[in-house]
Structure 1
Amino acid sequence: MKYQAELKDDILFIRLQGDLIAGADTQAMMEEVDNAQRTNVQLCAIDLSDARFIDSGGMGVLVSVLTKFRNKGGELVLIKPSDHIRKLLIVTKLNAIFTVAENDEFAAQFLKESIY
């Protein structure tokens, strides 16, 4: 898995590519999240449009990131997950806790509204 992180309008955007499985790459991404939170970033959007596959460890990573932000009074949105990932969210019933947006603009709008 590869990822890119950028801070835009006080929202941490993380863009994933490849397979989301727990490992060294996800550990680096979690450190990125921790660093952002140290600077009081409360909002995060994870772009899954280029993620091909996700396993249980990868789902655990998404839940961990969501938990980190909600514990700080913030929120997380998933952007454009593939059909495969959407089905996994439904099967695992995680669709009840994650908000899904179709693009950056909808994600940013939801996140901004979620903390006010």
Structure 2
Amino acid sequence: MKLNYSSKREAKSIILSLEGDLIGDEAGPQLVEVISDAVQDKVENCIIDLKEVRYISSSGIGVLITMLTKMRNAGGEVYLASPSEHVKKLLLITKLNNIFTVFDSLEAAKEGVE
């Protein structure tokens, strides 16, 4: 399933809502571009809503790490919200849960970031 995404700006954060499979196809560079633009716009945090993501490949993990690196290099942070059980397991196996702050819901992430 192709990855679709939407982004919206809230205060000093950008919220990226992803839907589909994060496999690092053409959507990968587009997502990284969104982060690059956000950094230039002085966005401090990026919340990635994973509620509608069913699958993340190793390339998709690379995209997430690239986004995180870009934000951290600019003094910002990337947070993950609402991962499915499958995605939660993947974050544990890859130890990404130690790198990213993961929230169970978008609401919790918004509160945690404020």
Question: Normalized against structure 1, the TM-score is what?
Answer: 0.91
**Residue number in structure 2 paired with 1:75:** 77
**Residue number in structure 2 paired with 1:94:** 96
Partners of 1:76 and 1:111 within 8 A in 2: no
CA RMSD, 1 decimal: 1.0
Helix, strand or coil at the partner of 1:23: coil
Shift of 1:102: 2.1
**Residue number in structure 2 paired with 1:11:** 13
**Residue number in structure 1 paired with 2:23:** 21
Divergent runs of 4+, >4 A:
none
Partners of 1:75 and 1:111 within 8 A in 2: no
Q: What is the correspondence of 1:41-80 to structure 2 with a 5 Å cutoff?
A: 41-80=43-82
Structure 1 spans left out of the alignment, 5+ residues: none
Partners of 1:12 and 1:41 within 8 A in 2: yes
Q: Which of 34, 37, 40 pairs up with 2:39?
A: 37
Partners of 1:48 and 1:80 within 8 A in 2: yes
Helix, strand or coil at the partner of 1:30: helix
Shift of 1:58: 0.4
Shift of 1:14: 0.3
Question: Normalized against structure 2, the TM-score is what?
Answer: 0.92
